[in-house]
Structure 1
Amino acid sequence: MRADHSGRKEAREEGQEARRLLARAHAENAFAAGEAILEVRDLVKHFPLTQGILFKRQVGAVKAVDGVSFDLHKGETLGIVGESGCGKSTVAKLVTHLEEPTAGTIRYKGNDITRASGRALKAVRRNIQMVFQDPYTSLNPRMTVGDIIGEPFDIHPEVAPKGDRRRKVQELLDVVGLNPEYINRYPHQFSGGQRQRIGIARGLALRPEIIVADEPVSALDVSVQAQVVNLMERLQDEFGLSYIFIAHDLSVVRHISDRVGVMYLGKLVEVGTEAEIYEHPTHPYTQALLSAVPVPDPEAEGKRERIVLEGDVPSPANPPSGCRFRTRCWKAQQRCAEEEPLLAVPENFTDTPVDQPQRHPSACHFAAERAAVVPPAGG
Structure 2
Amino acid sequence: MSDVVLETRGLARHFPSRHGAVRAVDGVDLQLRRGETLGIVGESGCGKSTLAKLLVGLERPTSGSIVVRGRDTATLRGAEMRRSRRHIQMVLQDPYTSLNPRMTVGDIIGEPYEIHPDVVPREQRVRVVQELLDVVGLNPDHINRYPHQFSGGQRQRIGIARALALKPEIIVCDEPVSALDVSIQAQVINLLERLQREFGLSYIFIAHDLSVVRHISDRVAVMYLGKIVEIGQDQAIYEQPTHPYTQALLSAVPVPDPRLRGRRDQIVLEGDVPSPVDPPTGCRFRTRCWKAQGVCAQHEPQLEMRPRSPHPSACHFAEVRNVIRRY
Give TM-score scaled by structure 1 length: 0.85
Question: Is 1:309 matched with 2:260?
Answer: no
1:63 counterpart SS class: strand
Residue of structure 2 aligned with 1:48, choices 13, 16, 19: 16
1:149 counterpart SS class: helix
Q: Deviations over 1:96-144 (max 9, x none)?
A: 0100000001111222221111121011111110000000000000000
Aligned AA for 1:288?
A
Number of the residue aligned with 2:104: 144
Number of the residue aligned with 2:74: 114
Residue of structure 2 aligned with 1:213, choices 173, 178, 202: 173
Give the Cα separation in 1 of the matches to 2:298 and 2:178: 38
Give the Cα separation in 1 of the matches to 2:55 and 2:151: 29
Larger Rg belongs to: 1
Give the Cα separation in 1 of the matches to 2:72 and 2:155: 34
Question: Is 1:360 matched with 2:311?
Answer: yes
Alignment of 1:1-379 (within 5 A): 31=1, 35-50=3-18, 59-346=19-306, 348-349=307-308, 358-373=309-324
Give the Cα separation in 2 of the matches to 1:181 and 1:119: 34
Deviates more, 1:36-45 or 1:106-115: 106-115
| Structure 1: 5+ residue stretches without partners | 1-30, 51-58, 350-357, 375-379
1:60 counterpart SS class: coil
2:75 counterpart SS class: coil
1:312 counterpart SS class: coil
CA RMSD of aligned residues (A): 1.0
Q: Deviations over 1:121-178 (max 9, x none)?
A: 0111111100000000000000000000000011111111111000000000000000
Give the Cα separation in 1 of the matches to 2:76 and 2:324: 45
Aligned AA for 1:185?
R
Give the Cα separation in 1 of the matches to 2:6 and 2:293: 36
2:17 counterpart SS class: strand
Give the Cα separation in 2 of the matches to 1:105 and 1:159: 27
Q: Deviations over 1:313-369 (max 9, x none)?
A: 0000010000000000000001000000000011x23xxxxxxxx421000000011
2:16 counterpart SS class: strand
- Is the helix fraction higher in 1 or 2? 1
Q: Deviations over 1:238-293 (max 9, x none)?
A: 11100000001001001110100000000000000011100110000000000000
Equivalences, count = 325
2:262 counterpart SS class: helix
Q: Deviations over 1:16-70 (max 9, x none)?
A: xxxxxxxxxxxxxxx4xx61111100001000113xxxxxxxx511000000001
Give the Cα separation in 1 of the matches to 2:239 and 2:150: 39
Number of the residue aligned with 1:53: none
Aligned AA for 1:146?
G
| Structure 2: 5+ residue stretches without partners | none
2:196 counterpart SS class: helix
Aligned AA for 1:40?
T
Give the Cα separation in 2 of the matches to 1:303 and 1:275: 20
1:243 counterpart SS class: strand
Give the Cα separation in 1 of the matches to 2:41 and 2:72: 26
C-alpha contact 2:241 2:322 (8 A) present in aligned 1 = no
